[in-house]
Amino acid sequence: MKFLSLTVVLSFAICSPLWAQAAGSVTTNNATPSSTAASPVEQQIIQNVRQFVQANTKKDADYFKRTLTDDFIEVPKNGGTSDRAEFLEDVTTGDKSKEPRLYNIKVVPLNEGAALATYDEILPGDETRYRHITHVWVKQGDQWKLKFLQTTPNLWSIGDV
């Protein structure tokens, strides 16, 4: 069952650019405002993505304890998988002092209680890195929680792995 769930989530992540065009999803670009008005759900997910990035930069483990689902799965840039406990353990390590710059944020509502978000980020530093990030957010009660996270180096940044 876990394998089936992971397969479905990964399928959504891989196919999201196609669905985004077909579904008329909202795209935001920090430099150019979107021509399509974002729905309240899409606005909330974009806000969640920005809060996620800020919390990660601040190494805010409490934010992630509140925000990750119990069955959270991460696929980091090396292609492995991490569960909630491993992610929480790793969130406080590493140099995260510089906040990444986000662009091309896209939100695809999957249903009333789930949405997929993708975006690109530039991580400043001695070796600037470029990555594509995918989130799956699910609504539990009245709160949106992060269920899935995948980080993929952009093709020209493949040396980051």
- pLDDT tens-digit series, residues 89-148: 988 886 666 789 999 999 999 999 999 999 999 988 777 789 999 999 999 999 999 999
Rounded CA-CA distance 130/161 in Å is 11
Q: How many helices (H) and strands (E) does the chain have?
A: 4, 7
Give Cα 8 to chain centroid, integer Å.
16
Tens digit of pLDDT for each residue in 42-84? 999 999 999 999 999 999 999 999 999 999 999 998 889 999 9
- Cα distances (Å, whole numbers) of residue 112 to 17, 68, 144, 152: 20, 19, 11, 27
Task: Please give the CATH architecture assigned to the domain spanning 2-160.
Answer: Roll (3.10)
